[in-house]
Amino acid sequence: TSPMSTAILPPPPSEPAPLSRPVNYLNAKFGVMSWLFSLDHKRIAILYLLSITFMFFLGGAAIVVVRLHLMTPSGGLVDADTYNKLFTMHGIIMVFFFLIPAVPAVFGNFVLPMMIGAKDLAFPRLNLLSWYLFMLGAAFSVGAMLIGGVDTGWTFYTPYSSTSSHTNVIPAAIGILISGFSSLLTGLNFIVTIHRMRAPGLTWFRLPLFVWSLYATSIIILLGTPVIAATLTLVAVERIFQVGIFDPALGGDPLLFQHLFWFYSHPAVYIMILPGMGVVSEVITCFSRKNIYGYKFVAFSSVAIAVLGFLVWGHHMFVAGQSMYASLVFSLLSFSVAVPSAIKVFNWTATLYKGSVALLTPLLFVFGFIALFTMGGLTGLFLAALAVDAHVHDTYFVIAHFHFIMVGGMVMAYMAALHYWWPKMTGRMYPEGWAKLATLIIFIGFVLTFLPQFVVGYLGMLRRYYQYAPEYQIYNVMSTAGASILSVGYVLPFFYLIWSLWYGKPAPPNPWRATGLEWQTPSPPPPDNFEVTPEVTSGPYDYAKGVPSAG
């Protein structure tokens, strides 16, 4: 027997009867107002999808200008102030208004209640409020950048942000603060829903791994978001009232800001990546037709990442004046946080081994996730080492590492989720050939964009500078060429997915032959998901016993 066989998804002997009538949420009511005031978690997920897609392309447009500027050592496309505002705009939008909310707000909202056999989230009105808060926060932050810009970088480092910058720091910070409340409401809603609204028979160790990842993510959100809210509030207080908090000239301590900021912002990396890991687990089991290898290890590794993520923030301050002994402790802890992530990668690989693998688009995006996330994780170990970090700190090496994790990892997972649940969300199939082409273009474009940045960063090119030494030009030309290819790869799904809404084949209730409860409803699902609450009688990925996972 070959280690891995390739197969198309086998047709079932008979289509299982859905657990609800085929009256979908899209056709329940028409009109803009019915959407803007809907309490249906699926419609709210669609609203998030539209909003987040807009933010993604807006943040992407800013960095396209930056990359075009960096084609030549002396720049010339924009001046230094505009350059600072562009990369700040890119960072704020992508981190706070795309990466953090993308998978939980869109796919968590859409499939979580169905995955656990519930008719909605525990607090539907809070769910709608969270979207409005997201939109209000985006309006503040994007408005601040459009009416004059922000030049501090997305990290808002003090004392520049609190006393020196003459740009719109406070409106941008208010927007992030408001969006933080949106995240808090979503995390609280998920935790209560998972605890209180599971279907009969759905024990903790029968939960899909995507639910485990959302649970761990929600814990991080509830514990970490108040810290960044308080930190940005203190920046505003010092900026308005000249109270000495972070500025040494006023008696403050700038290192205090870094401790507070990174205490949230490093766990925030796992707010971004943990839901993506949950998506990977769902897709791999479905398209390899196997139960996940080591289910409990994968589930508990999500919790371990959530816990350890709060213990490693100090590795951002190895060269900032932090105690040498504290740096040694944070270095050790930073190495240890790689262990639960490695467990996931090993178990995903073991799940694929000797599986009947269907090489369809969602799984191809997952392969891209595993390859790029693994490379990003391995280079993170270099940054956890004190000596290496002192050499590559604040260089393009750090940018490449971050983007291999966040873009190569999380965005690949986001695209996998989008293609995996698109038939369920819309009732339409997308063109598989175009989707596979987009996967290939995105992967090639990403590697060409960010792999040279590891090299040029190691050679000494500092990030955030709008000019650079001529010997670094070849690497920047390669990165800009890769960014052009990457842009094509991201725009392509935008067109063919919209095309599929009108011309795509109608999707059956379970086009992938998956075992989750969400696939036991019509496509798209009815407003209340299930006519009768399902009763779960088997594990989440029990493919050996057939497609249905509920009695």
Please give the helix or strand (H or E) that residue 71 lies within, else none.
none
* Amino acid 19: pLDDT: 61
* Amino acid 158: pLDDT: 95
Amino acid at 522: P
Q: How confident is the model at residue 545 (pLDDT cuts 50, 70, 90)?
A: low
- 3-state DSSP call for residue 75? coil
* Amino acid 549: pLDDT: 35
State pLDDT tens for residues 218-253. 999 999 999 999 999 999 999 999 999 999 999 999
CA distances from 347 to 277, 283, 294, 330, 351 (A): 12, 13, 6, 27, 6
Q: How confident is the model at residue 76 (pLDDT cuts 50, 70, 90)?
A: confident
CA distances from 482 to 61, 64, 410, 458, 461 (A): 15, 11, 18, 19, 18
* Amino acid 24: pLDDT: 73
For the chain, the distance separating the N- and C-terminal CA atoms, rounded to the nearest angstrom, is 34
What single DSSP character describes residue 469? -
What are the respective helix, strand and coil percentages of the chain, to the nearest 5?
70, 0, 30
* Amino acid 16: pLDDT: 52
- Give the span between the Cα atoms of 253 and 365, in whole angstroms: 44
* Amino acid 33: pLDDT: 87
* Vertex 292: Cα angle to 428 and 120 (nearest 5): 50
pLDDT at 384 over 90: yes
pLDDT at 130 over 90: yes
Dihedrals phi, psi of 550, to nearest 5 degrees: -135, 145
pLDDT at 8 over 70: no
Who has greater pLDDT, 345 or 27? Answer: 345
State pLDDT tens for residues 353-382. 988 999 999 999 999 999 999 999 999 999
Q: How confident is the model at residue 30 (pLDDT cuts 50, 70, 90)?
A: low
Who has greater pLDDT, 25 or 161? Answer: 161
Sign of the C-alpha dihedral computed for residues 19, 24, 29 and 34 taken in this order: positive
Q: Are 86 and 62 in contact (CB under 8 A)?
A: yes
- In the numeric block, which tokens belong to residue 139? 């309006």
Bridge partner list, 357: 6
* Amino acid 206: pLDDT: 95
Q: Are 483 and 445 in contact (CB under 8 A)?
A: yes
What is the average pLDDT score of the chain? 92
State pLDDT tens for residues 31-63. 788 899 999 999 999 999 999 999 999 999 999
- Give the span between the Cα atoms of 41 and 28, in whole angstroms: 14
Please give the helix or strand (H or E) that residue 397 lies within, else none.
helix 396-405
CA distances from 408 to 343, 365, 366, 447, 478 (A): 19, 10, 10, 9, 17
What is the average per-residue pLDDT within 430-434? Answer: 97
State pLDDT tens for residues 141-186. 999 999 999 999 999 999 999 999 999 999 999 999 999 999 999 9
Residue 340: asked if its preceding bond is cis (omega within 30°), the reply is: no
* Amino acid 25: pLDDT: 75
Crossing angle of helices 169-196/124-146, nearest 10°? 160
Q: How confident is the model at residue 542 (pLDDT cuts 50, 70, 90)?
A: confident
- In the numeric block, which tokens belong to residue 361? 């688009």
* Amino acid 20: pLDDT: 56
Sorted by sequence, the CB contacts under 8 Å of residue 32 that are 6+ apart come out as: none
DSSP code per residue over 12-69: PSSPPPPSS-S--HHHH--SHHHHHT---HHHHHHHHHHHHHHHHHHHHHHHHHHHHH
pLDDT at 430 over 70: yes
Amino acid at 181: F
